Amino acid sequence: MVGLEFYDPEEDMRVVVTRIEVKGRSRHIVGYYERIINDTVEEKEYQRMHVAEIEKLLGIYADDDTNHALALCDLDLVERTD
């Protein structure tokens, strides 16, 4: 997930995930991200968000009944070397 870009509708901007961490006593998994302004990634982390919300914005969903990934919405998660 680190390095993937998504659109945050609440902030009305494109962002890129910089890191994933487990936070607090409740062990929430959060992703930190930097803003993309004028096609340039800012050097400072802007915000954090629950990974589940980032997955929704990326188009990655998990079915709670079967616990399988349902879709990747045409994301190419494999770096190609050709």
Give domain status of residue 10, yes or no.
yes
Give domain status of residue 60, yes or no.
yes
Q: Of 17-21, 36-40, 59-63, 78-82, which range is least confident?
A: 78-82
| pTM exceeds 0.75, yes or no | no
Give domain status of residue 79, yes or no.
no
Question: How far apart are the C-alpha atoms of 2 and 27, rounded to whole Å?
Answer: 19
Amino acid, res. 33: Y
Averaged pLDDT, 53-77: 57
Which band of pLDDT confidence, cut at 50, 70 and 90, is reported for residue 61?
A: low
How many domains, in total, are found in the chain? 1
Residue 80 DSSP symbol: P
Give domain status of residue 80, yes or no.
no
Residue 45 domain boundaries: 5-71
Give domain status of residue 81, yes or no.
no
Q: Is residue 33 over pLDDT 50?
A: yes
Distances (CA, A) of 22 to 31, 39, 49, 62: 9, 29, 11, 19
Give domain status of residue 35, yes or no.
yes
Give domain status of residue 45, yes or no.
yes
Q: Is residue 8 over pLDDT 70?
A: yes
